Amino acid sequence: MAGHSGIRHLNRPFVDQLSIRIAAPIEDFNPATHFSKIQLTGIERFSQFALVAAEQAVQDAKLELNESEHHRAGVYMGSCLGGATTLEDGYIEVFKHDNPRIKPLSVLLSMNNAAASHLSIKYHLQGPNITYATACSSSAIAIGEAYRQIRHGYADVMLAGGAEAMLTLGAMKAWEALRTLAHEDPNDAGASCKPFAKDRSGLVLGEGAAVLVLEDAERAMRRGTKIYAELAGYDCSSDASHITKPDAKGQTRTILNALKDAKLNPEDIGYVNAHGTATFAGDIEETHALKASLGAHAYKVPVSSTKSMHGHLMGATGAVEFMAALLALQHNAIPPTINLRHPDPECDLDYVANQGRAGVHLNAVMSNSFAFGGSNAVLIAKRFQP
């Protein structure tokens, strides 16, 4: 809400080998305060993020499961590159240092489902344990599919979200080669990500995790836990058109299906947390999709991209942004799109430029996640009414 940017110069040993040297890293995270030395030999950075986020969520929900409930509880997580740090360290040892031996636990550290597996083991969740890898929509789909598990009666409680830690030399060089990363703002590194602005130049990579506790409403009310919102609508679909180019038609279809699932009209949506990556084509296509799906209401509803502050967490970004939308709903306050000083005429909606808005009344919010590969996901939450 304060509009503070987490984007900065990257402080990593390899930074001089990069052309783009900005990111949104977590710099105040000390694994030793959360895990023992023995635990750290088998828990990769992205899994560490997931475990800490899940602990916060479980404590916030005051979640407890008795022995008869464990088989009705599960975990769905999203991640794109999983244990990227371990993979890169192994490549360096083998190909650069000609070391025939790497960490014995490298496979277990780097596998994409490691974070979800650690959560399942820690909380003894014996229900479904699935990891989704659908690029930028991974964690949004994880949350949506966890919601379906509960709605259709397969589970009562689900931990759902995403984790990512891909700020490695190899991953960042790969993104540099794709030419989608933002150029550093000459005056302020924190102002480099500029969604919906005429002078936008691309996305900024971030890292982190977000985990939600999803629970059957009757069970949650019996426990007397704090309920942030009702997850009311979800849809996922494929553009089926291009591996990188976004398609407003596919996005529109996903939004409309999510609204139908939530049994809501466009006018019911009070805030949209946009995918808003600050790529040239992406922001324009999402603007077209919002107009096509919300009609005249698209010009009235506040829309913002919090990626302007926390960067693009790839597999974790959908969960982080849905969490932002939930907190907007709870606090009746809308976070801004910072760095939007020169609006793109083709992005002509209310993008909450530069300053958040408090004191608004919200009944329902929507979060968009649109990924490479054409994988779209939309989540809708509404104020909980017992």
Give whole-number Cα distances, 77 to 50, 120, 199, 200, in Å. 9, 11, 34, 31
Q: Which residue has the tokens 């950075």?
A: 45
Per the annotation, the verdict on 342 as an active-site residue is no
The one-letter amino acid code at 364 reads: A
88: left (phi over 0), alpha (psi -120 to 50) or beta: alpha
Per the annotation, the verdict on 136 as an active-site residue is yes
Q: Which pair of tokens denotes residue 5?
A: 């940017």
184: left (phi over 0), alpha (psi -120 to 50) or beta: beta
| Stretch(es) of the chain classified as CATH 3.40.47.10 | 8-223, 230-382
Give whole-number Cα distances, 51 to 30, 40, 59, 106, 351, in Å. 13, 12, 12, 19, 33
Give whole-number Cα distances, 173 to 17, 77, 176, 227, in Å. 9, 26, 5, 42
Phi, psi of 78 (to 5 degrees): -120, 140
Please list the helix, strand and coil fractions of the chain in percent, rounded to the nearest 5, in that order: 40, 20, 40
Superfamily of domain 8-223 in the CATH hierarchy: Thiolase/Chalcone synthase (3.40.47.10)
What is the structure's pLDDT at 101?
87
Give the DSSP H or E segment for 73: strand 73-78
What is residue 349's DSSP assignment? S
Contact 167, 207 (CB under 8 A): yes
Rounded average pLDDT per 10-residue block, the chain, 386 residues: 97 96 96 96 97 98 96 98 94 90 92 98 98 98 98 98 97 96 97 98 98 97 96 98 97 98 98 98 98 98 98 98 98 98 98 98 98 98 95
Select from 13, 4, 5, 373 the least CA-distant residue to 172.
Answer: 13
Per the annotation, the verdict on 347 as an active-site residue is no
Distance CA 45, CA 85 (A): 7
Phi, psi of 298 (to 5 degrees): -60, -30
Catalytic residue (one of 80, 118, 136, 288):
136
Phi, psi of 224 (to 5 degrees): 75, 25
Phi, psi of 133 (to 5 degrees): -130, 85
Q: What angle do CA 9, 198, 312 make, to 5 degrees?
A: 40
What is the structure's pLDDT at 100?
85
Catalytic residue (one of 118, 288, 310, 312):
312
Q: Which pair of tokens denotes residue 367?
A: 């979060």
Contact 250, 238 (CB under 8 A): yes
Q: Which pair of tokens denotes residue 20?
A: 């783009």
What is the structure's pLDDT at 338?
98
Catalytic residue (one of 275, 288, 310, 347):
275
Select from 302, 301, 299, 295 the least CA-distant residue to 337.
Answer: 302
Q: Which pair of tokens denotes residue 243?
A: 């591996």
Give whole-number Cα distances, 335 to 34, 117, 146, 182, in Å. 30, 33, 26, 21
What is residue 89's DSSP assignment? H
Q: What is the pTM of this model?
A: 0.97
Contact 34, 53 (CB under 8 A): no
Select from 140, 378, 146, 369 the least CA-distant residue to 264.
Answer: 378
Contact 41, 82 (CB under 8 A): no
Distance CA 290, CA 301 (A): 10
230-382 placed in CATH 3.40.47.10: yes
Q: Which residue has the tokens 């820690």?
A: 122
Q: Which residue has the tokens 């996903």?
A: 254
